[in-house]
Amino acid sequence: MWESRSAIFKKPSISNTKARLRSLYDGHRKIKRAREQYSYAARFCYIYLEHDLDQLSKSQDLVLSQGRGKITAAFELQAEILSTSVEVVKSERKAGRGYLQLLIEGGPGFILRLGCNVSTIWERKLSNTDIRLIIDFLKAKAPALHKDIISYNEAATRALLDGFIAYGWSRGEILKSHSALFSRLREFVDLEDMLQSAPRYGPPQSPGGTLSGMRTPETLDDRDFCSLTEGIYGTPHSDPSFSTLDRTLRSSSCTSGLEAINTLSQITDEELESLLCTELEYSAETYCTTGSANSSNLSMWHDMSPNVL
């Protein structure tokens, strides 16, 4: 595994404690970025599954019978196509509903700003009312953060379209579709112009690069959307008040990194080792992607191993 993804570690030219620890630190951050990238891709895939199941339920090819409606028939057909059980398909659909609702009601930018290590909350614990409450809270009580989140709508739409094409949809099929998802995406971009833009399936982009022609929204602060839900939803279908959400927002923060690591020459080996240990123990719950780091996630369909899609 150490040879994967263009080598995780770069062997230092000088072998000493500081150089080795710096190499380890950089490699660890590379692993974290890759984990974030796949996390966003997984959320998009849940949206794709929910979308395609809905389209399948509208197919004229479904075999219906008394007591067996379109949804049941669609579940059974999808399970047959995927060589799995109906229960698994239902579980996958349940996991994707929250993301799709968040996209439809809040905008696709929300999917890119969820942050890390909160998938279980969004896939298993939040009700439709919870999601609507979070969106309304951000609009009313945190307008600056809400503005920053929706500034990612165009970038998220492009990433979603890239994924659709990557797993088999054609540009023509997308333009002809009038599904709720594509109708919503049309509110943020001109789908025809975006799909006819320069091909986006060439060589992988370098880390930190943005998609062709895409601006990178500026991050207003280091707080990310992920911290809004951590610690609030301990049980399913809770109904937090605005004041509870407000307290959580004010106390939440997502550290952008350990700046002291850049001053290696000014600290002792013991101090550097302690710093690295702190970083390695740093909880993933507070490591969230913001700003330019999010931009690298937009190229997820390019940078992944060819075996993924």
Q: Tell me the percentage of the chain whose pLDDT exceeds 70.
A: 61
For residues 290 and 279, give the distance between their C-alpha atoms in angstroms, rounded to a whole number: 18
Long-range contacts of 283-286 (CB under 8 A, 24+ apart): 284/32, 284/116, 284/117, 285/116, 285/117, 285/226, 285/230, 286/227, 286/253, 286/254, 286/255
Residues in the chain: 309
pLDDT range class, residue 234, cuts 50, 70, 90: very low
On the 0-12 / 13-18 / 19+ scale of CB atoms within 10 A, 71 is middle
For residues 156 and 109, give the distance between their C-alpha atoms in angstroms, rounded to a whole number: 5
* DSSP annotation of 124: I
pTM for this prediction: 0.61
More confident call, 197 vs 269: 197
Q: Which residues of 248-287 are buried (b: 16+ CB within 10 A; e: fewer)?
A: bbeebebebeeeebeebeeeeeeebeebbeebeeeeeebb
Residue 65: beta bridge partners? 68
φ, ψ for residue 92, nearest 5 deg: -65, -40
Mean pLDDT of the chain: 69
Which pLDDT tens digit goes with each residue over 85-110?
Answer: 888 888 888 888 899 999 999 999 99
Nearest to 59 by CA among 84, 83, 82, 76: 76
In this predicted structure, the answer to whether residue 115 has a pLDDT above a threshold of 80 is no
Domain layout of the chain by residue ranges:
97-198+214-303
Nearest to 215 by CA among 288, 145, 160, 292: 292
